[in-house]
């Protein structure tokens, strides 16, 4: 990551324009869905086995009580940071039966983040953080493609406590824990927060969701899943 967080934050604004208007949401082929709906049999087809899903950690609702102004509050483990970082090459999320390669992508000549080239493609924003680095590692995938499910079709099923595995080119494996899953109206998404640099090893997964507009060829909302490497 060249030049520190400043250029990345500046770049995030340019990429953010795409996030608001259609990142990973352009369809290929005829429009056949009005909006995402469950596909019969898809759940079992995507799962590697019939093993029951492991129990999730309970969702903790934060209180409004004042908290000490510390970088690492008492009771939390120290933030881990990888000593060396390599490009991510594979993504596995057992909870939703996802097991797919990752491809790097930057900006197009129009200053838009290049979308995955196939239905099952997962794109990593190569100008952001790498797995295990302090920063925001951003992955995107299609919701649907030519009338069928895309790589991130089931992203909305993830809940706090679910595990996301990211494999790097040097053989390292990073286990991220889902912290939140948020649905934003496409034109009201907090772009700076979603795409901006962070001071912790954060993973952000983004896809589209909601109702498809046949005039703009875009979905009405964006699904943003945040996960932390502990």
No. of H helices and E strands in the chain? Answer: 3, 10
10-residue mean pLDDT series, the chain (230 residues): 34 43 50 43 40 43 33 46 80 97 90 84 94 92 92 97 96 96 91 84 94 87 93
DSSP H or E run through 18: helix 5-21
81, 74 in Cβ contact below 8 A? no
Beta bridge partners of 180: 226
Every domain of the chain and the residues it spans: 26-32+78-229
Sign of the alpha-carbon torsion through 141, 144, 148, 152? positive
Q: Tell me the sheet residues that pair with 145.
A: 148
What pLDDT, on the 0 to 100 scale, is given for residue 25?
62
Residue 197's pLDDT is 79
Which pLDDT does position 15 carry in this prediction? 47
Q: Are 177 and 227 in contact (CB under 8 A)?
A: yes
Residues 6+ apart with CB under 8 A from 214: 31
Give the pLDDT of residue 38. Answer: 43
Give the pLDDT of residue 113: 75
CATH assignment, 26-32+78-229: 2.40.260.10
């Amino acid at each position: 990551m060249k030049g520190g967080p400043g250029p990345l934050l500046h770049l995030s604004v340019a990429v953010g324009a795409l996030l608001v208007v259609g990142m990973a949401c352009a369809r290929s082929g005829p429009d056949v869905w009005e909006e995402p709906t469950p596909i019969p049999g898809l759940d079992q087809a995507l799962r590697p086995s019939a093993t029951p899903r492991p129990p999730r950690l309970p969702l903790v609702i934060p209180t409004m009580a004042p908290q000490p102004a510390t970088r690492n509050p008492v009771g939390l483990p120290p933030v881990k940071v990888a000593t060396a970082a390599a490009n991510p090459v594979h993504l596995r999320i057992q909870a939703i039966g996802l097991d797919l390669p990752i491809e790097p992508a930057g900006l197009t000549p129009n200053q838009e983040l290049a979308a995955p080239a196939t239905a099952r493609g997962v794109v990593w924003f190569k100008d952001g953080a790498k797995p295990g680095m302090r920063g925001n590692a951003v992955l995107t995938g299609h919701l649907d493609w030519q009338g069928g499910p895309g790589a991130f079709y089931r992203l909305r099923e993830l809940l706090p406590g679910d595990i996301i595995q990211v494999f790097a080119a040097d053989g390292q494996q990073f286990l991220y824990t889902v912290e939140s899953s948020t649905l934003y109206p496409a034109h009201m998404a907090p772009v700076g927060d979603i795409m901006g640099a962070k001071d912790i090893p954060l993973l952000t997964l983004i896809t589209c969701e909601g109702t498809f507009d046949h005039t703009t060829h875009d979905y009405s909302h964006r699904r943003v899943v945040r996960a932390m490497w502990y």
